[in-house]
Chains A and B, each alone.
Chain A
Amino acid sequence: SQQGEEDPQALSIQEGENATMNCSYKTSINNLQWYRQNSGRGLVHLILIRSNEREKHSGRLRVTLDTSKKSSSLLITASRAADTASYFCATDPNSKLTFGKGITLSVRP
């Protein structure tokens, strides 16, 4: 069964704009992770936020975690055409990394 649910399912923005993607989950977690998948490629680990952390930054990425609401958001600032990809949140109930359905992000040049 799915643990994470991303929102929106698809997002289209102009280059230079910020992209915000949300993820909700159901059970308690040790950490929440975000991955990117370019078309026809494997998943790339972007960032991991632990359950005792509220916010984390990595380059143009900012992740927040609200365990009381069982939700997380991924913000990509100053988007580029190369950010066009599918983004997945993943959580680890029972030590099994479980993915949401993903968000398709299109960045228009």
Chain B
Amino acid sequence: DTAVSQTPKYLVTQMGNDKSIKCEQNLGHDTMYWYKQDSKKFLKIMFSYNNKELIINETVPNRFSPKSPDKAHLNLHINSLELGDSAVYFCASSQWDRGIDYGYTFGSGTRLTVV
């Protein structure tokens, strides 16, 4: 069973389109994240949700809108895609137990290419 699964794995789309990436975790974790990895492998956090509530919203264009229907799912919708949005997007989840962090579990990534 895949712990954190993302779909699709690859996404090629034209500029100006709207697309969504879905993420699901079956670990029972309370917190989920979206990270963006650029062509130089630099990873930057975009959003974080804890029990369906947005807790981290980095400086991300408002064309990006996360949605968490329940604590096991965190989707990312992107409007009006631009060339600069091309990257690999990773979903992750984590669990804090009595203030102790046990590390993040990442999905395998969605490679988005905007043409």
Scoring A residues 26 to 44 as 1 if CB is less than 8 Å from chain B, else 0, what string do you get?
0000110101010001111
Choose from A35, A42, A44 the contact partner of B109 (Cβ within 8 Å). A42
Shortest Cβ distance from B67 into chain A, in angstroms? 20
**Interface SS majority for chain A:** strand
Interface residues on B, range: 20 to 34
Which residues of B does A touch, CB under 8 Å? Answer: 4, 33, 40-43, 45, 48, 56, 58, 90, 92, 94, 101-109
Further contacts, 6 of them, CB under 8 A, given A2-B42, A42-B4:
A35-B104, A42-B109, A45-B105, A48-B101, A95-B56, A97-B45
Question: Is the beta-carbon distance between B106 and A96 smaller than 8 angstroms?
Answer: no
**Interface SS majority for chain B:** strand
Which residues of A does B touch, CB under 8 Å? Answer: 2, 30-31, 33, 35, 37, 41-45, 48, 86, 88, 92, 95-99, 101-102
Chain A residue numbers with a CB within 8 Å of B94 are 97
Chain B residue numbers with a CB within 8 Å of A30 are 101
